[in-house]
Amino acid sequence: MQHVIPENHESAGPPVVLCASHRLIRDALTYGFESLGRVRIVATARDASESIAEAERCRPAVVVVSDDIGRGEALRAARGIADRVRSTSVLLLVGSEDADTLAEAIEAGARGYVTRRVQLHQLCDSVVRVASGMASVPDSMLRALLDQLVERRSASKQSDGVLMQLSPREREVLLLLTEGASTESIATTLVVTRETARKHVQNVLLKMGVRSRLEAVAYVVQDGRSALLRAEA
């Protein structure tokens, strides 16, 4: 694997691990990100195993995974990082929009999904957004994503008892997530620290058995569960 030591040591922004099988892609994105100065590339990887290892070693804010390593490998990377390094978010960089891949990526734990058709500054925007704890999904795919996740969750036939496992404060947090709240806004609303808000979100995901905020939201909005949540909050 190739570790990157940026030439510009003063570059600001969240630390990022970049995973792509082709060196040309790794080098081009590394140069591009560093030239913008908004993120710091701390390491690179060539496949799922290396990206998981680098995430565990560096504890970056984000791992950007290019699907040129293969769709299955990219999903394995997202799943492995979500399982082993919960503080690290995954952003999937793909060749084209695909609803099935997006749904599987979100279920695997990815928080971002961007196509290689976007401009570099837009990709950087998505990385920064994901690093802040928010999701980054093309607006054109959001409705289809929620529909797919609702269908997948319905097929699992999980009961409303899942929500009842949450404490009153955790149900408040989940309700705020359904309204699109970020970690910062949750902290502000509940008058707690950002770290406390982040822990509440992690506990909600863990108790619900989901890997991402979007999947948790999809579970709530199906079959009137949002109304149930409001009644219990």
- Per-residue pLDDT tens over the stretch 212-227: 888 888 777 655 566 5
Instruction: Give the confidence band of 209 by pLDDT, cuts at 50, 70, 90.
Output: confident
Q: What is the edge-to-edge ordering of all strands in the sheet holding 40-45?
A: 40-45, 15-19, 62-66, 89-94, 112-115
Residue pair 65/77 in contact by the 8 Å Cβ criterion: yes
Q: How far apart are CA 186 and CA 177, in angstroms?
A: 8
**CATH 3.40.50.2300 domain residues, the chain:** 15-142
pLDDT given at position 4: 46
Pairwise pLDDT comparison (108 vs 149), residue with the higher score = 108
Confidence tier at 152 by pLDDT (50, 70, 90): low
E-state strands within the chain? 15-19, 40-45, 62-66, 89-94, 112-115
pTM reported for the whole predicted model:
0.64
Rounded alpha-carbon distances, angstroms, from residue 78 to 47, 59, 200 = 11, 14, 22
Of the listed ranges 81-85, 105-109, 146-150, 168-172, the one predicted with least confidence = 146-150
- 158-232: CATH, from 2.40.40.20, 1.10.10.10, 3.90.280.10, 1.20.1440.230: 1.10.10.10
Question: 36-40, 44-48, 127-131, 141-145: which has the minimum mean pLDDT?
Answer: 141-145
**CATH T-level fold of 15-142:** Rossmann fold (3.40.50)
Is the pLDDT assigned to residue 98 strictly greater than 90? no
Q: Place 6 in a pLDDT band, splitting at 50, 70 and 90.
A: very low
> Helix, strand or coil for residue 110?
coil
- Considering the chain, what is the average pLDDT of its residues? 85
Q: In angstroms, rounded to a whole number, what is the distance separating the alpha carbons of residues 180 and 182?
A: 7
Q: Which ranges in the chain are annotated with CATH 1.10.10.10?
A: 158-232
